[in-house]
């Protein structure tokens, strides 16, 4: 096989990016040359941050890291992956509860395009309980989420929820 650059797509809502996501990205960079964080533009899903806000704050979190790109996409993930010459889709796995929907999505993606492989990476134990939704809920009611999200995300959460610590 030709020795070509290995590009992985890390897709998701990232509403917002958490330290758990960052942990997965670092692990992905041990396997791939470049990772593209692809934020889904999905008008039917209610989000706290607009896609534009998410792209901007996620970019801030990886300022100067040239192996990591941040982008937004719409439509089929496998089409986006093909357009970017990516060979893999990365998904983080926390617990068994993640498995069923991830399995279904991976099989659908494989049916749609056999050339893109789904790669599941386990988050560090430290992040096993974190998710964007639970962090937003804690932030909304003034919980301390400062060690669960990167600084640019914390600042944006403070704009939305002034009580957050």
Active site residues: 21, 45, 94, 132
**Closer residue to ligand PNS in complex, CB, 109/130:** 109
| 109 interacts with ligand PNS by CB under 6 A | yes
Cα–Cα distance, 158 to 139 (Å, whole number): 8
**To the nearest whole angstrom, how small is the minimum distance from the Cβ of residue 91 to ligand PNS?**
7
The DSSP H or E segment spanning 58 is helix 51-61
Tell me which stretch binds ligand PNS (CB under 6 A): 9-17, 50-58, 61-69, 153-161: 9-17
Contacts of 30 (CB under 8 A, 6+ apart): none
| 13 interacts with ligand PNS by CB under 6 A | yes
Cα–Cα distance, 20 to 100 (Å, whole number): 20
Phi/psi of residue 56, nearest 5 degrees: -65, -45
In 3D, which of 164, 165, 135, 160 has the Cα closest to residue 148? 135
Phi/psi of residue 116, nearest 5 degrees: -105, 125
**Closer residue to ligand PNS in complex, CB, 13/117:** 13
Site string (70-99) toward ligand PNS, x via CB under 6 A: ------xx----------------------
Rg over alpha carbons for the chain, rounded to the nearest Å, is 16
* DSSP-derived secondary structure letter, 86: -
Question: Among 7, 29, 93, 105, which residue sits at the site for ligand PNS (rule: CB under 6 A)?
Answer: 105
**To the nearest whole angstrom, how small is the minimum distance from the Cβ of residue 40 to ligand PNS?**
4
| 128 interacts with ligand PNS by CB under 6 A | no
Residues that bind ligand PNS (CB under 6 A): 11-13, 40, 76-77, 105, 108-109
């Amino acid at each position: 096989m030709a020795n070509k650059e290995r590009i992985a797509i890390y897709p998701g809502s990232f509403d917002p990016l958490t330290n758990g996501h960052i942990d997965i990205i670092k692990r992905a960079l041990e396997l791939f040359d470049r990772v593209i964080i692809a934020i889904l533009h999905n008008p039917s899903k209610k989000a706290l941050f607009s896609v534009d806000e998410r792209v901007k704050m996620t970019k801030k979190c990886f300022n100067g890291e040239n192996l990591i790109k941040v982008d937004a996409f719409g439509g089929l993930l496998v089409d986006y992956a093909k357009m970017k010459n990516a060979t893999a889709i990365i998904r983080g796995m926390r617990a068994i509860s993640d498995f069923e929907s991830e399995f279904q999505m991976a099989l659908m993606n494989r049916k749609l395009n056999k050339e893109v492989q789904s790669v599941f990476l386990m988050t560090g134990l430290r992040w096993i309980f974190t998710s964007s939704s639970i962090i937003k809920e804690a932030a909304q009611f003034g919980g301390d989420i400062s060690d669960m999200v990167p600084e640019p995300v914390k600042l944006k959460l403070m704009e939305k929820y002034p009580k957050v610590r």
